Structure 1
């Protein structure tokens, strides 16, 4: 087999894979992109995610767990009677606040120093995240994962096809440009006044073929625009899809001995300080602290991506491991310097158009 025929065969198989995978995952991918756009705008839109308030003091979480529970009980909407009604406590040392969530995703923010209630609001983005990865329907592995693998294959075959088509596209673009510069006013007038049947375009092609050509042209050029951001989104999204199964991505959450947290926040920091090799010396080294009452575990997420899992009842260190989930989420959403709003959000919107044009072409070939 000659190298030319082999190359043509590879190109033909690439087109076939690209087309049929696009058709197979069209609907779930439109859903993923749409929910992704929704999540990109969660920070500016309070209805999606309540804004994070600021406490009276940064890096001073002195409010006791009992004070926090008592204050949250005083909020009727939370419907909290004990620790079993609380899903988690989320301490933000640099903001001086603690976010307390119940099992219905209602969130109360309290001052980390005084335990004063600062805000109560519904948190809707968590459910959208579950929809985004299909865990809301217990389909994260058997549907969400295959769709994202298909998306990766589609991306790779699309890159190949774009590179292969570049010489042809550039040649066509150059020819059209040359033709426009040499076209006379008389020819232009003739084209306008010539009677053409309604079922055909100006060049004599059926309107259906002209529409397909238009879709392919825009699909090609938009592919180059979204290529690099999409690479970040696809590879990080694929790893996040299996975060519960791959400890390298996210350490397995351990189970503590009790369901009533007893270890106060200052004690949590002291426990981490006893392991200096992991780099936590003060509150400024801590990104967040999560308390899971039902799991009996308190976790410290350090700025250096180390995660300490501590028994909430005894204070014993259950596990210390690198947590890459938060870093991958930053890549997935393009959070650096607000890239998620001025770059990744427009790219997601363009991607939705790209997906719709590609699907339309695939169905009409």
Structure 2
């Protein structure tokens, strides 16, 4: 068997097995990504409320946002350590405080009034999607391998398509040269 043919055979095996094994990771990332895109229509996330119209310079200070958010009597929320992240949405003039336990508090950025304290599972989905739910071992090993494997799958796929085309073109050229 020629070197080109054995490389082609090897490319097919690598493509098949890495694709089969990593399709689980790719499927997981794709499903959680789709859920994130459609989280409001599916009822996974709380709709963004509108705060009182004001400029960002009139916003309440961050320590007050933390104090208001943690004093809402939400389950498993007692301190700043329970906060996953705080988002400021200037278009709505709202702070959205997301907690580790899938709770969310929306606060008017200029008045400090609580607009919503509904459950918000988008935090859970985000941590699943980016891998932080499973820890750094998942993010930096499995997702890195998945990304590198996607590159490998792309190149092996290009080779599997390109090699037969190259062989056909070469055979046609050889046939034309023989006719002349």
- Shared fold by TM > 0.5? yes
Cα distance per residue 1:3-61 (max 9 Å; x no partner) = xx44433322221211121233233333232223222322433x222222221114334
Q: Secondary structure at the match of 2:9?
A: helix
Q: Secondary structure at the match of 2:159?
A: helix
CA distance in 2, matches of 1:83, 1:98: 15
Q: 1:109 to 1:7 in 2, by over 3 A?
A: same
Counterpart of 1:122 (choices 119, 124, 146) is: 119
Residue 58 of structure 2 corresponds to residue 59 of structure 1: no
Q: Which has the higher contact order (CA 8 A, sep 6+)?
A: 2
Q: 1:122 to 1:143 in 2, by over 3 A?
A: same
Q: Tell me if the contact between 1:78 and 1:102 (Cα under 8 Å) persists in the aligned partners.
A: no
Q: Tell me if the contact between 2:70 and 2:78 (Cα under 8 Å) persists in the aligned partners.
A: yes
Q: Tell me if the contact between 1:54 and 1:96 (Cα under 8 Å) persists in the aligned partners.
A: yes
CA distance in 2, matches of 1:132, 1:159: 28
Q: 1:165 to 1:75 in 2, by over 3 A?
A: farther
Cα distance per residue 1:294-315 (max 9 Å; x no partner) = xxxxxxxxxxxxxxxxxxxxxx
Q: Secondary structure at the match of 1:101?
A: strand
Q: Tell me if the contact between 1:107 and 1:122 (Cα under 8 Å) persists in the aligned partners.
A: yes
Aligned match of 1:9: 6
Q: 1:159 to 1:12 in 2, by over 3 A?
A: same
Q: Tell me if the contact between 2:100 and 2:123 (Cα under 8 Å) persists in the aligned partners.
A: no
CA distance in 2, matches of 1:135, 1:71: 27
Q: Tell me if the contact between 2:71 and 2:78 (Cα under 8 Å) persists in the aligned partners.
A: no
CA distance in 2, matches of 1:12, 1:78: 57
CA distance in 1, matches of 2:32, 2:96: 24
TM-score normalised per structure 2: 0.71
Aligned match of 1:48: 44
CA distance in 2, matches of 1:127, 1:165: 46
Q: Secondary structure at the match of 2:112?
A: coil
Residue 125 of structure 2 corresponds to residue 104 of structure 1: no
Aligned match of 2:142: 143
Q: 1:33 to 1:165 in 2, by over 3 A?
A: farther
Q: 1:136 to 1:18 in 2, by over 3 A?
A: same
Q: Tell me if the contact between 1:59 and 1:94 (Cα under 8 Å) persists in the aligned partners.
A: no
Aligned match of 1:38: 35
TM-score normalised per structure 1: 0.39
Residue 158 of structure 2 corresponds to residue 159 of structure 1: yes
User: How many positions carry a matched residue from both structures?
Assistant: 164
Cα distance per residue 1:129-177 (max 9 Å; x no partner) = 3223433222222322212222221122223323456799xxxxxxxxx
Q: Tell me if the contact between 1:99 and 1:107 (Cα under 8 Å) persists in the aligned partners.
A: yes
Aligned match of 2:173: none
Unaligned runs of 5+ in 1: 169-365
Aligned match of 1:19: 16
**Over 6 Å off, 4+ runs:** none
Q: 1:164 to 1:48 in 2, by over 3 A?
A: farther
Cα distance per residue 1:100-133 (max 9 Å; x no partner) = 2233131110111111111122221222232234
Unaligned runs of 5+ in 2: 168-180
Q: Secondary structure at the match of 2:111?
A: coil
Deviating more after overlay: 63-72 vs 11-20: 63-72
